[in-house]
């Protein structure tokens, strides 16, 4: 009753029969065509075409060295940074003849993901979402599959590509200090992630360099959920002496924060300046105009994919060199940051 649905899958045996050769030869035509006599090769190719034969990847992975598949383990798509990098990586890999299996960190522990990845025998792994001290680092590093960490580093190092987040944070903080801000609040996800840890470090250093004290109640590391961010923003801005600028650990968070500020009737940057990290696409939108520091025209994801593929090919040959890239950050000054206004200053001074 199922009709065509029941049709048998064409196997390399069928191709061999039609081409009048052995299954081994069909396999060779697919994997090392130059090792097969041209005439025979041609006949096999014709049989493949005639039968619309597609090799069964599951069977192939069971036995082969190469799968032409890379695994991408990505942070949540709710952060546009990951949506953008996933998009770029999949596209880049495809052009190089690789397919990408995307896993999301929400899909379970990295341990489970590694188990899956191993059983499917991918050729390489790209990880954008490992925590600074994740215990699974070792398992990945020694699993025998080339791995590259990008965006977030692990404390053990390994092959990674990330932005120089310390410098990035210093640049951003410097920018706010130059605009006259002295009361700067800091909102971020937790520091168990290298990017956020480094950004905080850079912020702290820049403030210290400038001799500007950081009030403890201006600094918040929180679960990056919309409602928590909004509540915190309200709380901060309703103080008697609200901060004149907000540094957010990443743009996605900054944009939620802006939403909260606008809903309070505050103007950006007249009442408060806002700045973030990553320079996601939306930050450049005319209605958002978020000042941000990121690595423009140097997509980390794509670079990571490029390096991974190089590593996969090198693997065959000589010894490995460790790949460690630090992308230089670039500051994009937009309208969300502006000079401290006289009223703000006056209000503050009046109270001090």
Residues that bind a copy of itself (CB under 8 A): 2-6, 9, 54-59, 61-62, 76-78, 80, 83-84, 86-87, 90-91, 94, 99-102, 104, 106-108, 115-116, 118-121, 142-144, 255, 258-259, 262-263, 282, 285-288
What lies within 8 Å, CB to CB, of 87 at 6+ separation is: none
Cα–Cα distance, 258 to 175 (Å, whole number): 19
Question: Among 62, 178, 185, 77, which Cα is nearest to 118's?
Answer: 62
Q: Which does 201 bind (CB under 5 to 8 A by kind): a copy of itself, DNA, none?
A: none
Q: Which does 64 bind (CB under 5 to 8 A by kind): a copy of itself, DNA, none?
A: DNA
Nearer residue to a copy of itself within complex by CB, 101 or 212: 101
Nearer residue to a copy of itself within complex by CB, 50 or 215: 50
Nearer residue to a copy of itself within complex by CB, 212 or 266: 266
Cα–Cα distance, 125 to 176 (Å, whole number): 38
Eight-state DSSP code of residue 121: T
Q: Which does 286 bind (CB under 5 to 8 A by kind): DNA, a copy of itself, none?
A: a copy of itself
Nearer residue to a copy of itself within complex by CB, 105 or 134: 105
* Helix 165-178 / helix 194-209 crossing angle, nearest 10 deg: 40
Smallest distance from a copy of itself to CB 208, Å? 33
Using DSSP, state whether 349 is helix, strand or coil. helix
With contact defined as beta carbons under 8 Å apart, do 259 and 287 qualify?
Answer: no
Smallest distance from DNA to CB 57, Å? 8
Type and span of the H or E element at 297: none
Smallest distance from a copy of itself to CB 320, Å? 10
Nearer residue to a copy of itself within complex by CB, 102 or 210: 102
Smallest distance from DNA to CB 248, Å? 46
Residue 322, both tokens: 């460790």
Smallest distance from a copy of itself to CB 209, Å? 33
Nearer residue to a copy of itself within complex by CB, 74 or 165: 74
DSSP 248-293: ESSHHHHHHHHHHHHHTT--TTTT-EEEEES--GGGGSTTT--EEE
Burial of residue 3 (CB within 10 Å: 0-12, 13-18, 19+) is exposed
Smallest distance from a copy of itself to CB 102, Å? 5
Q: Which does 118 bind (CB under 5 to 8 A by kind): a copy of itself, DNA, none?
A: a copy of itself
Q: Which does 213 bind (CB under 5 to 8 A by kind): a copy of itself, DNA, none?
A: none
Q: Which does 25 bind (CB under 5 to 8 A by kind): a copy of itself, DNA, none?
A: DNA
Burial of residue 47 (CB within 10 Å: 0-12, 13-18, 19+) is buried
Kind of pairing between the strands at 291-294 and 330-332: antiparallel
Interface contacts to DNA, rule CB under 7 A: 8-9, 11-13, 21-28, 30-31, 35-37, 39-41, 53, 55-56, 59-60, 62-66
Q: Which does 156 bind (CB under 5 to 8 A by kind): DNA, a copy of itself, none?
A: none
With contact defined as beta carbons under 8 Å apart, do 168 and 199 qualify?
Answer: yes
């Amino acid at each position: 009753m199922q009709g065509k649905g029941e049709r048998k899958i064409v196997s390399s045996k069928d191709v061999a029969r039609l081409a009048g050769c052995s299954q081994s030869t069909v396999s060779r035509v697919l994997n090392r065509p130059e090792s097969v006599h041209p005439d025979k090769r041609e006949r096999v190719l014709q049989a493949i075409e005639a039968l619309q034969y597609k090799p069964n990847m599951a069977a192939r992975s069971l036995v082969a060295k190469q799968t032409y598949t890379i695994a991408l383990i990505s942070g949540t798509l709710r952060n546009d940074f990951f949506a953008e990098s996933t998009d770029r990586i999949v596209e880049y890999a495809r052009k190089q003849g690789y397919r990408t299996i995307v896993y999301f960190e929400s899909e379970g522990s990295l341990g489970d993901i590694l188990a899956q990845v191993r059983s499917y025998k991918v050729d390489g792994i790209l990880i954008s979402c490992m925590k600074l001290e994740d215990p699974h680092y070792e398992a990945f590093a020694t699993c025998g599959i080339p791995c590259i960490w990008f965006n977030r580093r692990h404390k053990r190092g390994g092959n990674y590509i990330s932005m120089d987040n310390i410098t990035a944070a210093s640049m951003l903080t410097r920018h706010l200090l130059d605009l006259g801000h002295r009361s700067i609040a800091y909102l971020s996800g937790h520091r168990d992630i290298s990017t956020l840890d480094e950004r905080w470090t850079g912020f702290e250093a820049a403030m210290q360099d400038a001799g500007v004290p950081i009030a403890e109640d201006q600094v918040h590391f929180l679960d990056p959920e919309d409602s928590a961010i909004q509540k915190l923003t309200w709380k901060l801005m309703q103080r008697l002496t609200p901060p004149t600028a907000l540094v957010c650990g990443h743009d996605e968070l900054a944009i939620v924060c802006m939403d909260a500020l606008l809903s309070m009737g505050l103007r950006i940057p007249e009442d408060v300046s806002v700045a973030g990290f990553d320079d996601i696409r939306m930050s450049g939108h005319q209605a958002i105009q978020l000042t941000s520091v990121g690595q423009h025209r140097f997509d980390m994801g794509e670079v990571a994919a490029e390096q991974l593929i190089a590593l996969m090919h090198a693997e065959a040959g000589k010894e490995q060199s460790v790949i460690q890239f630090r992308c230089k950050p670039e500051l994009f000054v937009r309208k969300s940051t502006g000079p401290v206004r006289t009223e703000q200053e006056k209000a503050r001074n009046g109270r001090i």
